[in-house]
Chains A and B, each alone.
Chain A
Amino acid sequence: MMKDLSSMAAPVIEAQGVGLTFETNDGPVHALKDVNLTIGRGDFVSFIGPSGCGKTTFLRAIAALEHPTEGRLTVNGMTPDKARQARAYGYVFQAAGLYPWRTIAGNVKLPLEIMGFSRAEQEERVQKVLSLVDLEGFGKKFPWQLSGGMQQRASIARALAFDADILLMDEPFGALDEIVRDRLNEELLKLWARTGKTIGFVTHSIPEAVYLSTRIVVMSPRPGRITDVIESTLPRERPLDIRDTPEFIAIAHRVREGLRAGHSYD
Chain B
Amino acid sequence: MDFRFTEEQEMIRKLARDLTEKEVIPKVAEWDASGRFPRELFARMGELGLLGLPFPEEWGGAGADTLSYVLVLEELARGSLGVALSYEAHVSLGCTPLYLFGTEEQKRKYLVPCAQGKWLACFGLTEPGAGSDAGATQTTAVLDGDQWVINGTKCFITNASQAEVAVITAVTAKGMGTRGISAFIVPRGAPGFRVGKAYDKLGVRCSDTAELIFEDCRIPRENLLGELNQGFKQFLKTLDGGRLGVAALAVGLAQACLDQALRYAQQRVQFGQPLSKFQAVQFKLADMAAELDVARWYTYRLAVVKDEGARITKEAAIAKLFASEAAARAATQAVQILGAYGFSSEYPVERFYRDAKLLEIGEGTSEIQRLVIARELGC
Tell me if chain B binds chain A.
no
Q: Give me the interface of B with A, judged by CB distance under 8 Å.
A: none
